[in-house]
A and B are shown apart, each in its own frame.
Chain A
Amino acid sequence: AQRVTQPEKLLSVFKGAPVELKCNYSYSGSPELFWYVQYSRQRLQLLLRHISRESIKGFTADLNKGETSFHLKKPFAQEEDSAMYYCALKGDVLTGGGNKLTFGTGTQLKVEL
């Protein structure tokens, strides 16, 4: 079974402070991990995915298979980063998990001035 855990419902940081949104997963095959962001009353947007190893809006995330984690990080938070962040896992086709995203429960990031 695919499972994604985001332990923090709410994370509040000051502008300019570092941000780390935690994500742990459970999956027996080879997962793909994603971070999606949802700004207030808007659609879910893909922020980044582990296979791209990219940095978007200053955010990075590294897949740590040993710790089964995919934490989202940004060195200096900006006010416009305030949003809901979802970690998501897509399983591999061999185990039948390639057809859907399993989401974590989300972390609301609030950046304060």
Chain B
Amino acid sequence: DTAVSQTPKYLVTQMGNDKSIKCEQNLGHDTMYWYKQDSKKFLKIMFSYNNKELIINETVPNRFSPKSPDKAHLNLHINSLELGDSAVYFCASSQTPGGAGNTIYFGEGSWLTVV
């Protein structure tokens, strides 16, 4: 049973295209996240949703738009892809936004390559 699953795992696309990455968690968690891991392996949070409501929106270009149809899903849509968007995008989830001992679980990552 995959706890946090993302699709697609690999995506190669041309500059200027629009693409989406989907994420689903079956852990019954209320909070979901998108993290970006760049070519230097730096990991940084992009967005966080709690019960379909946006609670964290870091400095991310407007071309990136998260959508949460329900608390088990958080999709990431990217418009007008640029070369610099090439990265690994990790979806994650946790029981609640805060609270001690609240572990964040990660998906397997989606490798996006923009050519």
Contacts and interface: CB of A to CB of B under 8 A. Distances in A.
Interface of A: 32, 34, 36, 42-46, 49, 51-52, 84, 86, 90, 92-93, 98-103, 105-106, 108
Given A43-B109, A49-B101, A98-B97, A106 B42 contact: yes
Contact of B100 (A32, A44, A45, A46): A32
Interface residues of B, number: 28
Given A42-B108, A43-B107, A84 B41 contact: yes
Contacts of B56: 99-100
Interface of B: 4, 31, 33, 40-45, 48, 50, 55-56, 90, 92, 97-109
A106 B41 contact: yes
Q: Which 4 A-B pairs have the closest CB atoms?
A: A98-B98, A93-B98, A103-B43, A44-B106
B103 A49 contact: yes
A98 B31 CA distance: 12
14 contacts: A32-B101, A43-B4, A44-B90, A44-B106, A86-B43, A90-B104, A93-B98, A98-B98, A98-B99, A98-B102, A99-B48, A99-B55, A100-B56, A105-B40
A105 B41 CA distance: 7
Contacts of B90: 43-44
Contacts of B44: 103
Nearest to A94: B98
A99 B43 contact: no
